């Protein structure tokens, strides 16, 4: 854990390739996310869910909805990378999405979505041949001006879920919840 509440796990990794062991570890983290995030918000009341995880940051509720939205994008990005030649993905304005009315829904809506989504996302990653060429299939993020791989996608989203879960658990620790 770092001292920066924005990045409790440090910066997002963007490796172009993962070892077989790193893939297994990242896939385990991906499968564990729905339960881990559920546990992180379990028992929080409405006021606590409406508390920003840091000054100027999103509320706990917004963080949960963001994770589901971001991982829906990951699922689409993975499908594009596996079925098209170096697709350019569509970025989105996550800060603006977080201000839309659906971010006021109870977190269970996104937690249930995340549970189903990760069944599919995890299964799709797990179905790839361990040493096969699909792991190196490229995709491009136009806003970042970089080309990544399927391996990168797995590493990024395994980290992303743990990152946001850690933001919530750190807030709970600081506030004695």
The three-state secondary structure class of 19 is: coil
pTM higher than the cut 0.75:
yes
Burial bucket for residue 42 (CB in 10 Å: 0-12, 13-18, 19+): exposed
Report the phi/psi class of residue 147: left, alpha or beta, with left for phi > 0 and alpha for psi in -120 to 50. beta
pLDDT at 1: 67
Q: Measuring CA to CA, how many Å separate 27 from each of 20, 24, 79?
A: 11, 5, 16
Residue 16, CA atoms < 13 Å, CB-side half-sphere: 6
User: Facing residues of 140 across strands?
Assistant: 88, 147
d(CA 58, CA 78): 27
Return per-residue pLDDT of the chain as tens, 177 residues.
667 888 999 999 999 999 999 999 999 999 999 999 999 999 999 999 999 999 999 999 999 999 999 999 999 999 999 999 999 999 999 999 999 999 999 999 999 999 999 999 999 999 999 989 999 999 999 999 999 999 999 999 999 999 999 999 999 999 999
Q: How many CB atoms lie within 10 A of CB 144?
A: 11
φ, ψ for residue 146 (rounded to 5)? Answer: -130, 150
């Amino acid at each position: 854990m770092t001292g920066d509440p924005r990045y409790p796990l440090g910066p997002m990794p963007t490796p172009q390739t993962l070892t077989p062991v790193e893939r297994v570890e990242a896939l385990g983290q991906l499968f564990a996310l729905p339960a881990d995030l559920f546990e992180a918000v379990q028992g929080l009341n409405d006021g606590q869910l409406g508390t920003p995880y840091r000054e100027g940051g999103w509320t706990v509720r917004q963080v949960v909805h963001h994770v589901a939205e971001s991982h829906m994008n990951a699922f689409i990005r993975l499908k594009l990378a596996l079925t098209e030649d170096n697709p350019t993905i569509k970025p989105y304005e996550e800060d603006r999405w977080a201000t839309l009315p659906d971010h006021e829904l109870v977190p269970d809506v996104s937690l249930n979505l995340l549970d189903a989504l990760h069944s599919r996302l995890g299964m799709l990653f797990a179905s790839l041949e361990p040493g096969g060429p699909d792991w190196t299939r490229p995709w491009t993020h136009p806003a970042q001006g970089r080309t990544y791989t399927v391996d990168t996608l797995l590493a990024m989203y395994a980290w992303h879920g743990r990152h946001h879960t850690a933001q919530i658990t750190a807030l709970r620790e600081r506030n004695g919840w």
